[in-house]
Each structure stands twice: as structure tokens, then as C-alpha cells.
Amino acid sequence: MNFHLLSLMTWLPLAGAVLMYLTGDSANAATARNARWIALWTSLLVLVLAVVMIVGFNPSVHGFQFVESAEWIPAYGIGYRMGVDGISLFFVGLSALLTPVAVLASWRESRRVRDYMAAFLLLETMTIGMFSALDFLLFYIFFEGVLIPMYLIIGVWGGERRVHAAVKFFLFTLAGSLPMLLALVWMWHHAGTTDMVRLMHTAIAPTIQDWLFIAFLLSFGVKAAVWPLHTWLPDAYGEAPLPGTIMLAAVLSKMGAYGFLRFSLPMLPQATAYFEPFMFALGIIGIIYISFAALAQTDIKRMVAYSSVAHMGLIVVGIFTVTVAGIEGALFQMVSHGLVIAALFLCVGILLARGHSLRLDQLGGLASRMPVYATFLMLFVMANVGLPGTSGFVGEILVMIGAIQANFWVALLVGTGMILSVMYMLVMIRRVLFDQARSVANAVIADIGPREWLLLAPLAVLVLVLGFAPGSLTHIFGGAVQDLVHAHLADLSSGAHGRLAMIKQ
């Protein structure tokens, strides 16, 4: 595999962005149209490459595939290394899938279109690069680089309080990633290289591991919106333009969880075992606390945003069970959550495009006026609350299966999301679709159009296919997760893991 597929996917969007600035000279309508089509075609091309990659991926091979390696700063052991395994494969795929969705969802954007589309393509470069980087420094650059386009997307095209939200987002994530920079320096100093594969096999003293773990927790925790590091999120989600929110919720929030899987678990096994109960607590508090916060929301967009954070708690718990079922559940949930949350935000956008208010007390009665829309929204809400037959359920039950191996109460409390999510989601459904119409009479009430069909239908199909036949996903990352769990357990000499177990023979 030496045709640099990953690099191609990573840098192609950037090339597309550059192309936009080369073809058009000023901000006229033609440039805007060009920018739209360039963005769409570039992102679709990347999606095709992603499909090629997923098809060409061999799940039975251990370790990384499509590996690229080049010297960068050899004196310091730094290289340009890329590659994917079963875990990162789908995040690259998810980024590639959702970028065209976001581009298509922004088709009506009219302010500084070229800059806008360029920002989204830049974002795609950064996310795909981050998920496929195999060198810590490269990873760090992409991880930080995501900030730039996202900051601009929120700050320039956001809602009324956009600057506030953008600054908050920027400060939070930047402050969060400084500890990672320190960890990076330390690990490089310790191992003499930034090659992540070698770092995974470098032993680190347990006392140091604890500090590194905290550093990673701060940086990845902010990105994954782990409670109580989540407070940048409601503002950012609420103020970002909808396609930006989609990328934030569906892709960027996964960066943190991915970081835990890529760094904390394999590189810091003792610390992971030591912090396991703590991470459970954070995850569970997140689920319960954020769900209640969601219940209090009066704005549909913010309600979906909080719902998104609540699900991140489930993912964190799944990862830190360090069981095959738990991690596969978390990964599955990450993919599913990416699709479902993106779709829910798209549904919010459809309301917005029809001039509806997003305030829950001003919506209502849309089920009879927009039946197709209502069907889609109901499907995605059910996937969000984890109804069997949708992708949301598979992740949820697998995390529960993983959690029960750690502790009964963890499984039970993680499951409270099942009840709490129903509480706020059904209130939302009622306020939006049911009841008497409350909205102003002059709102446009056309049901969804062809472009919106094109956006929602593929997501709906994916949600159902993954719900009924999740094997298409799990058999690809199954091997990688098993390797990860086995390596982790092998690293733990003593019985540090499983301190919460309650079963007796």
C-alpha cells in the first residue's frame, strides 16, 4: 500500500481550499458558487477515498495499515508517520462522511462563502490528519490545528454571542492542550522518539504515569467535553452555525475519546487502572448531570447539544471499562453518535431554514404539516435514546455489558441515561412535532425538499443498518480492540484492574 492514501485524504481538502483562492479573485457570486462546488467535490472525492480505504482495510491484520513513514527531523526522532488501525479507520471515515454533509447543509450560506468553505476544508484536513497521525508531534499539530478553522467558523459565522463563544472555545481547548504539550515533551525526552507505535511499547514508571494521565485527561477531557470540563460546549454548540455544530458534535468531540484510546490506555496502563473508578465517576456524573441540564433547556438546539454531551459520558465509561465489549461499545457509540447527532442538528437546521423559532415554547404541531420531517426526526430521536434496531442501542448495551464486568452500580448508573434521555427527548418531540401549532402563522411550512432528503436519508439508512447489522462495523475494529485490551491486561502485572468487581464464586 504505497500510494499515500492517508496523506492524499489529509491534504486534498487543503489543496481544494487553496484552489478556491486561486480561481476566484474577489467576493462575487461566481466565486461563491465556485467555492461551494469545489468544497463539495473535494469532500466527496475524499469520501470516495475513504470508502476505498475501508474496503481495502484488512481486519485480520494486527497493527496499523496504510502506513506512511518519512523522516522529518531525524535528529530528534520525529517523523512524518501516518497509518490507521481498526480504531481510527472509522473516525477518518466519519470525518470524510460528515464534511460533505456539512458543506451541503451550508449551501445557503451567503456571507463570505469562499472563506467559509475553505475553513471547512481546512477542518477536514486537520481532523483526518489527526485521526491518522502516528507521530505524537504530528498528532499534536493536527490536534491544535483543528482549533483554527473551528474558531473562525464559530467566531465569524456564528450567532449573536459568537465572539464570546469562540473565545471561550479557543481558550478552553488551548489551555487544555498545554498539559498535553508538556506530556509530549516528557515522553519524547523519555523515549527519544515521538513515534506513537514505539511509545506504546515504552514502559513508564507508574508514578509518572499518573501525572501524564492527568495531563491527557485535561486535554482530551476538554475536547470530549467530560464533565466538568464541558462548559465551553453549550456556548460553542449554541452559537456556531449549524454545519459547524455538526462538525463539533459529530467529529471534534470524538477527538478526545480517540485520544484516550490512543494514548491513555496503551501508554499508561497502570494509571488507567488506577484512575478507572475516577473516570467512571466523571462519566456517570456527566450522564446524569448533563441530562438534567438538557431537561431544563428551552431551545431545541441547546437541548440537542446537551444531549450530545450526555452521551459522551457513556463513551468515557465504555472506554475505561477496558473490556472488549465496553470499548467496542464506546467505539460503536462514537460512530453512531456522530451520525445521530449530526442528523439531529440537521433537523434543527431544517426548522431554522423555514424561519421557525428554535424556542421550544414557540414550536409545535409540525407532525401534521411536515410528516416526512416528523418521521425522520422521530427516527433519529429514537436512535438517540438507544432504541433497539437503531445504532444507538448497540453502543449502549455493549457499554453496559462492559460495565457490568467492572461493577454492578456502574452498569446501573450508566443505564440511567436510558431513562433521562427519554425524558428530555420526548419533551422535545412533543414541543416540536405534537401539541397544537404555536408558531407564528407566516412561517414557511413546506415539508423537506430534495437537498434535505439527500442529507437525511443516508444518515437514516446508516443508523438502521448499523442497528440491525452492527457486525459490519464491529468485525472491522474487533481485532484492534482485542489487541488493545490484551496488551493492557498484559501490562498490568498485579490485580490492579477489577478492584470494583463484585462477583464471587
Partner 1 sequence: MLLAIAVLAPLAGALLAGLARPTIGRAPAVGLSVASLVVAAIAAIGTVYRHLVLGAADHLVVLGQWISVGTFAPQWALRMDTLSLVMVGMVCVVSALIHVYSMGYMAEDRTEPRFFVYISLFTFAMLMLATANNLLQLFFGWEGVGLMSYLLIGYWYDRASANEAAIKAFIVNRVGDLFFAVGIALTWYEFGSVNFDAIFAGVAKVAPHVYHLFGTDLPVLEVISILLFIGAMGKSAQLFLHTWLPDAMEGPTPISALIHAATMVTAGVFMTARMSPVIDAAPVALAVITVIGGFTAFFAATIGCVQNDIKRIIAYSTCSQLGYMFLAVGVGAAPIGIFHLINHAFFKALLFLGAGSVIHALADEQDVRKMGGLWRKLPVTYVTMWAGSLALVAIPPFSGYFSKDAILSAAFAAHSHTAVFGWLCGTLGAGLTAFYTVRLMLLTFHGKPRASNETLAHAHESPLVMLLPLVALAIGALTTGFLLGPTFIGAHFANFWGSSIALPHGGAVMAARDAIPAWAEKMPLLLAIAGIGIAYWFYELAPALPARLAQTWPGLHAFLLNKWYFDELYDAIFVRPALRIARAIWRIGDEEMIDGVPEGLARLTGDASGVASRLQSGSIAVYGFVMLVGLMVLVTVFLVAR
**Position 150, amino acid:** M
**Shortest Cβ distance from residue 292 to partner 1 (Å)?**
4
Q: What is the CA radius of gyration of the chain?
A: 22
**Shortest Cβ distance from residue 392 to partner 1 (Å)?**
11
Among 15, 72, 164, 281, which residue sits at the site for partner 1 (rule: CB under 8 A)?
164
Residue number, 49 or 383, with CB nearest to partner 1? 383
Q: Exposed, middle or buried: residue 263 (CB in 10 Å: 0-12, 13-18, 19+)?
A: buried
Residue number, 7 or 482, with CB nearest to partner 1? 482
Q: Check residue 297 for interaction with partner 1 (CB under 8 A).
A: yes
- Using CA atoms in the order 228, 89, 236, 104, what is the torsion angle rounded to 10 degrees? -160
- Contacts with partner 1 in 140-159 (CB under 8 A)? 140-141, 144-145, 147-149, 151-152, 155-156
Q: How is residue 165 written as a grid cell?
A: 463563544
- Contacts with partner 1 in 230-249 (CB under 8 A)? 231-232, 234
- Determine if the peptide bond prior to 206 is cis (ω within 30°): no
- Contacts with partner 1 in 441-500 (CB under 8 A)? 468-471, 474-475, 478, 482
Residue number, 324 or 335, with CB nearest to partner 1? 324
**Shortest Cβ distance from residue 1 to partner 1 (Å)?**
27
Neighbours of 412 (CB within 10 A): 13
- Contacts with partner 1 in 386-415 (CB under 8 A)? 387-389, 393-394, 397-398, 400-401, 403-405, 408, 411-412, 415
CA gap 56, 240 in Å, rounded: 36
Residue number, 90 or 232, with CB nearest to partner 1? 232
Q: How is residue 187 written as a grid cell?
A: 515522553
- Binding part of the chain for partner 1, among 46-54, 203-211, 321-329, 457-465 by CB under 8 A, reads 321-329
Among 122, 250, 267, 448, which residue sits at the site for partner 1 (rule: CB under 8 A)?
122
Specify whether the CB–CB gap between 9 and 53 falls below 8 A.
Answer: yes
Q: Check residue 255 for interaction with partner 1 (CB under 8 A).
A: no
E strand residue ranges, 227-290: none
CA gap 325, 386 in Å, rounded: 17
Q: How is residue 270 written as a grid cell?
A: 497502570
CA gap 391, 403 in Å, rounded: 19
Over the window 171 to 200, marking each residue x when it contacts partner 1 by CB under 8 A and - when it does not, the resulting string is xx--------x--xx--xx-----------
